[in-house]
Structure 1
Amino acid sequence: MTLGKLLKIAVFVILAIVFVRRHFYYTDKKYDCSIQLLPSLTFEFSGGNAKRALRLLKYASLEDYKTICANVSRINLNVSCGGFGGGCYFDFITKNPESIDVSTSRSDLAWTAAVIVHETCHLLQYKDGRVFNEDECYKEDHRVIQKITEI
């Protein structure tokens, strides 16, 4: 292989890594946060709305942000049992209890942030061995929306 071909391959590999890291991961080294974003081919390929919502939580509700970073390893951006503009937590069935589903690509950031907090609430209920309780998680997302709107 010539040096020119090796250089082209190296550039391609570097660009591919940068593309994947930019579009399919949310990372924050300060808070040891690394969340994989599964792209939605029909709604939001890049996960930009989820990333912006996570950043909003970082500044509006740091404790919720830290909880999400400590417990969520993957956000599936495809429509699932939560429907359009909602979320769902059922990945404990598929053996990935640290994954939440959030299909809010066309929603505003406050709503997306609230859905992420809501589904993380269900994830914590599962991890703690508690019964799924929608009322508890609705209180959490309402609290977050209030915090965000106070800014």
Structure 2
Amino acid sequence: MNCSNSAWARDRGDPIHTAVSAVHRYQIQARCQRDPSASQFALAEVTRHKGGHGTLAVFALVRPNLGRHEQELILEIGETLQLLDDYLDVDEDRRNHTRTLATEGQLNLEEVCRRLPSRTRPIAMGHRLPSRRKPLRPGTRRQQPDAGSAAAGFRSRRAGRRSSG
């Protein structure tokens, strides 16, 4: 594959450059997780940046020139995903003498779950979401020719979700 292809070329200001650099820097700093004298603050910072910038690097790889609000949202989500990963890997991390907020007793599942909605809500409020159509009132129809098939598809997807749960 030719990475000099214009589809892969990125401007110097593209977030992929800073994200990959930050992932590398924080992956090196993650060595502190094996140091018994490392502070809780150091563990939290490594977790925050390793997860956030790792997730941002993946998104930036797929989508060039992410906007500031998108980057902030992805960083927050990545941090929370890293916390979830640390929570799920707590037994393995203890066996391997890897210190995380979870192995230190500073993180539980309730805390992880609480973080995502509360941390992303203010950022998502500033992020422009695609506009949605107003729901139809019972007995009314959209004036578009394919509206019936789209509504039928929506109804069948909803019915499938209800029966599979």
TM-score, normalization: structure 2? 0.28
For the pair shown, which has the larger CA radius of gyration, 1 or 2?
Answer: 2
Q: Which of the two has greater helix per residue?
A: 2
TM-score, normalization: structure 1? 0.30
Q: Which of the two has greater strand per residue?
A: 1
